[in-house]
Amino acid sequence: MILKNLIYILQSENYDFKRFLRFAYSRLDWWRLEKRKKIVWTPKARLINIVSVMIFSLLVAYFLVKYGSLGALIILLMILFLPFLIGFSLIIIKPLDIILKARKIKKAKSILESKRPIVIGITGSYGKTSAKEILNSILAEKFKVLKTPENVNTDIGIANFIIKEKEKLRTSDIFIVEMGAYQIGDIAKICEMVGPDYSILTGINESHLERFGSLENIVNGKFELPERTKKISFVNFDDENIKN
């Protein structure tokens, strides 16, 4: 249960180990943290869980055999260092994760290219989901529309959705893609995969400033979508950060 909740925190922090570590040691009640959302057992999360359980089991066996009853005390102390064990597991699976991720993104791109719907990308510091739902309601009056579900806005999340819904995509006229970002380059990767024909930039503020590092980086990161839009990008000129 503790490992599960730690992996949930890691996933919530987008597998950023430094942020995960800081959060884990600021909230030691790990077993209560799976509140807002539930863990999504992706292949990556399962791999981290399997590797972590294997390493922990080996350590438990080693300390019990070598130190006996004292080993049990050492095992209890080990619980304090479980976040580092999760981080070690993350490092171990990283090469395989990179390979599998690249394959999925390539497959998703191929699916989109085989039956090319009109792709509309939506990003911004706020209002992405609302804009997506409103646009979907309007366009669905005349077209067959498929949209990414709530909270699916990363490259691998979108790739998984495309692969899962490939049959629906083949009969859709329009595909609306919500795009999130935690650093410069995130949206560019998504654009490379889906190739947006049209796009909407809702607005820019200091959301995720601690990850981007500066407002300038946020602006540059969000503008990766308009810059990579094939036809027309609609941007919100009521937003000063966009207008500037």
Cβ count near 15 (within 10 Å): 17
Which tokens hold the place of 90?
């993350």
In the β-sheet with 145-147, what is the strand arrangement from edge to edge? 145-147, 174-178, 118-123, 198-201, 232-235
pLDDT score of 28: 63
Rounded to 5 degrees, φ, ψ at 121 are -95, 140
pLDDT score of 35: 52
User: Across the 244 residues of the chain, what is the mean pLDDT of every consecutive 10-residue run?
Assistant: 78 80 72 60 86 88 81 79 87 89 93 91 92 96 94 90 92 95 92 96 83 86 95 93 89
Rounded to 5 degrees, φ, ψ at 175 are -125, 115
d(CA 116, CA 20): 38
pLDDT score of 213: 79
d(CA 150, CA 132): 10
pLDDT score of 193: 95
pLDDT score of 103: 92
Cβ atoms of residues 156 and 202 within 8 Å: no
Name the one residue in this structure whose structure tokens are 């692969």. Answer: 163
Rounded to 5 degrees, φ, ψ at 34 are -85, 75
pLDDT score of 137: 96
pTM score of the predicted model? 0.78
Task: Please give the helix or strand (H or E) that residue 177 lies within, else none.
Answer: strand 174-178
Which tokens hold the place of 113?
């290219």
Cβ atoms of residues 189 and 155 within 8 Å: yes
